[in-house]
Structure 1
């Protein structure tokens, strides 16, 4: 088991960092925290400097100011890179973290080495949009764990839930322990910003991977394909029989996909710089 000591930036972002090599930063989803990336730390640490942090309003990080926009979440990542003295990094965002990663890629392209968007949303249908807006209202009225049972059923296979009751219970507790206002501010962005600067995605020049699970009901294969069509150098990966929380449920599968992509991205970067491997 890996035991890492959380550190903190001057602006109040809590993060974990381990390993040596090119930096790779992971961004979690709404209601979760940096601890979700344990499987990725194990798989990528031998090759990369792996960094995971708590989004605004989550875990041990600072709360977002009222009305904070998606750019404010991208600015949090920028402050983390500056704290770590990293000129650029590969950014991997899951679900809401994928929206943050996209915003970071659009606003700070010079700080991006490669982009990975996992199980994230794009161009919701009217029915999908109505569903997530309704869940936002329930969270506003009843708190962060208002939809916990339904969320866990969407996120994990029934088999995984049955085989890992302690982990599922811990995730349920994580959801319930979120700061209500921090959670709601973030969830409102998650619910409304799936088309954030969609017409500008063609400006992203870094290597990109857009991936989701075949059985992810909220971040569907169609969404992944439509998003990738907007990004010039994007690959698409649809993982067979995987649901939303595939980085947690199937870390080896996800890690192999990430390592393959990151190896190819480094090769392309070396070629662009005239470096012979």
Structure 2
């Protein structure tokens, strides 16, 4: 069993790090924290250096000032890389973390080795946009756990919820314990920034994977395909019968997809380095 002790950057970002090899950064979704990545940390750390951190306003990290934009969240990741003295890394972002990963790719392309966007949003329909705006208003009025039961129903299969009540209860508690202002600042970005610099996505020139679950109602397969069409050479993976929280519900399945991508990207990088040398 891998035992990790959280560390902290000078700016106040809480993170976990383990393993050896090329660095892989994991960014969680809104309302969650770095602990969601337990299955991926175990599965990837045998071959890669894996770093999971708490986004601004989440877990044990610093709160974002009111009005912080996506660049502020990308800057948090940049500060983490600088603290760890990592010139480049592959970034894996889940849901809201996928928006942060996209922003990082656009603002700091020289620091990016590869990009994976899991169960994230792009080009919401009017109905989807109205729904997430309504949930933002509910969170503003009633706090971070205003939508917890509906969120858990969207995120997990009924079978998984029934078989893992303690884990579901723990995630419900995580949602409820979020800092209200940090959560709301983040959720407002999640609700409104799905088209963030969409016309610039063609500038991303690293190996890229866009993946989601076949049954993910908020981060749909169509969103994944549309996003991948904007990024040159991006791969798409739609995981059969999976819902939103597939990294937690099906870690082995997700890890297989991630390792296939990471290993292929690493081989491509090694070949290019050999040619250059």
TM-score range, shorter chain: over 0.9
**What's 1:69 paired with?**
69
**What is the CA distance between 1:10 and its match in structure 2?**
0.1
Q: Structure 2 CA distance, aligned partners of 1:92 and 1:32?
A: 15
**What's 1:229 paired with?**
229
Q: 1-10 vs 67-76, which deviates more?
A: 1-10
**What's 1:129 paired with?**
129
Q: Structure 1 CA distance, aligned partners of 2:268 and 2:223?
A: 26
* Number of residue pairs the alignment of both structures matches: 276
Q: Structure 2 CA distance, aligned partners of 1:160 and 1:69?
A: 35
Matches within 5 A, 1:43-122: 43-122=43-122
**What's 1:200 paired with?**
200
**What's 1:153 paired with?**
153
SS at structure 2 position matched to 1:81: helix
Q: Deviations over 1:30-57 (max 9, x none)?
A: 0000000000011011100000000000
Show structure 1 runs of 4+ deviating over 4 A: none
**What's 1:42 paired with?**
42
**What's 1:214 paired with?**
214
SS at structure 1 position matched to 2:274: coil
Q: Deviations over 1:190-209 (max 9, x none)?
A: 00000000000000000000
**Runs of at least 5 residues in structure 1 that lack an aligned partner in the other structure:** none
SS at structure 2 position matched to 1:211: strand
Q: 260-269 vs 150-159, which deviates more?
A: 260-269
**What is the CA distance between 1:271 and its match in structure 2?**
1.8
**What is the CA distance between 1:2 and its match in structure 2?**
2.7
Q: Structure 2 CA distance, aligned partners of 1:90 and 1:275?
A: 21
Q: Structure 2 CA distance, aligned partners of 1:53 and 1:108?
A: 18
**What is the CA distance between 1:275 and its match in structure 2?**
5.7
**What's 1:189 paired with?**
189
Q: Structure 1 CA distance, aligned partners of 2:139 and 2:184?
A: 7
The RMSD of aligned alpha carbons is: 0.9
SS at structure 2 position matched to 1:273: helix
